[in-house]
Amino acid sequence: WHTLESTMFVLKVGQSAQVHESRVSIFRFAIDDDKISGYHFCGGSLVNEDWVVSAAHCYKSRIEVRLGEHHIRVNEGTEQFISSSRVIRHPRYSSYNIDNDIMLIKLSKSATLNQYVTPVALPTSCAPAGTMCKVAGWGNTMSSSADGNKLQCLNIPILSDRDCDNSYPGMITDAMFCAGYLEGGKDSCQGDSGGPVVCNGQLQGVVSWGYGCAERDHPGVYAKVCLFNDWLESTMASN
């Protein structure tokens, strides 16, 4: 990349990602290699008025957060643009195997919470296999009928540890889980990194990695947010 400054988008998530359809707000951030195109880079989740959770592999030293977005190329009048004051990767993040793929972004000023910008709750416990969740973002859709400039939302189940390990032998750590459909056809895709997996109103996953997109026997892999509650809470409290 040619710049250290990234841009992050924060949006409303709904069943079909219709604008302002749900109370859960997420946001995404993008690299602005040129300020005209505003290239979409990664995503994240607003967890309170001052902090965003994203993936550590999306790290940039400076990030601009855009909250209240739905269509990333249209000014809808609901957006808030806030730069980062700190970007903190998990201290045990590994770029080798993408373990502990989580980071926190502190906003330089508090977000204004309203009907368009609402935090998502951190998990109170880990969600079991079979739990249905929503994954959302502006990544590649691989569909001529879907608009990648508009927030997309997909319902996916958390898979068992056995199915996850069988899909990626020797690659899944305790800090990861798989979600999606083993038959393929539905998945989070490139451009969705750092975005949320929300289950029963709680942030259970951060979009991390996978093989290809929506390929058979290769579901999406997500950082397991429930294992990082102590780090998230202590880091936010001390910064």
For residue 170, what pLDDT is reported?
Answer: 97
Most confident listed range (77-86, 149-158, 208-217): 77-86
Same domain? 155 vs 208: yes
Q: Please say whether the dihedral angle defined by the alpha carbons of residues 132, 137, 142 and 146, taken in this order, is positive or negative.
A: positive
Do 136 and 181 have their domain in common? yes
The predicted pLDDT at position 153 comes to: 74
Strand order in the sheet with 220-224: 152-157, 132-137, 196-199, 202-209, 220-224, 176-179
Q: Which of 107, 123, 152 is the last residue of a domain?
A: 107
Band of pLDDT at residue 154, cut at 50, 70 and 90: confident
Count the Cβ atoms, other than its own, within 10 Å of residue 16: 10
Examine the domain organization and report whether 99 and 36 are in the same domain: yes
Residue 160 lies in a domain: yes
Rounded Cα–Cα distance for residues 200 and 191 (Å): 24
Residues 46 and 91 in one domain: yes
Element (DSSP H or E) covering residue 165: helix 161-167
- 64 against 234, higher pLDDT: 234
179 in a structural domain: yes
CATH code for position 71: 2.40.10.10
Query: What range does the domain containing 64 cover?
Result: 5-107
CA angle 170, 219, 118 (to 5 degrees): 115
Considering 72, 107, 142, which residue would you say is the last residue of a domain? 107
Same domain? For 140 and 214 the reply is yes
The answer to the question of residue 114 being in a domain is no
Active site residues: 57, 101, 193
Give 119 or 189, the one with higher predicted confidence: 119
Number of domains in the chain: 2
The answer on 100 and 137 residing in a single domain is no
Q: Out of 107, 142, 175, pick the residue that ends a domain.
A: 107
Residues 102 and 194 in one domain: no
Has residue 233 been placed in a domain? no
Give yes or no: residues 144 and 221 share one domain: yes
Task: Report if residue 238 sits inside a domain.
Answer: no
CA distance 63 to 27: 12
Q: Note the pLDDT tens digit of each residue in 108-147.
A: 999 999 988 889 999 999 999 999 998 876 654 343 344 4
Let me know whether 102 and 137 are in one domain. Answer: no
Is 116 part of a structural domain of the chain?
no
Mean pLDDT across 153-181: 94
Q: Is 122 inside any structural domain? A: no
Q: Are residue 84 and residue 146 in the same domain, yes or no?
A: no
Burial status of residue 106 (CB atoms within 10 A of its CB: 0-12, 13-18, 19 or more): middle
- For residues 49 and 136, membership in a common domain is answered with no
Say if residue 191 is in the same domain as residue 99: no
120, part of any domain:
no
63-115 pLDDT per residue, tens: 888 787 655 565 666 788 888 999 999 999 999 999 999 999 999 999 999 98
Supply φ then ψ for residue 55, to 5 degrees.
-95, 140
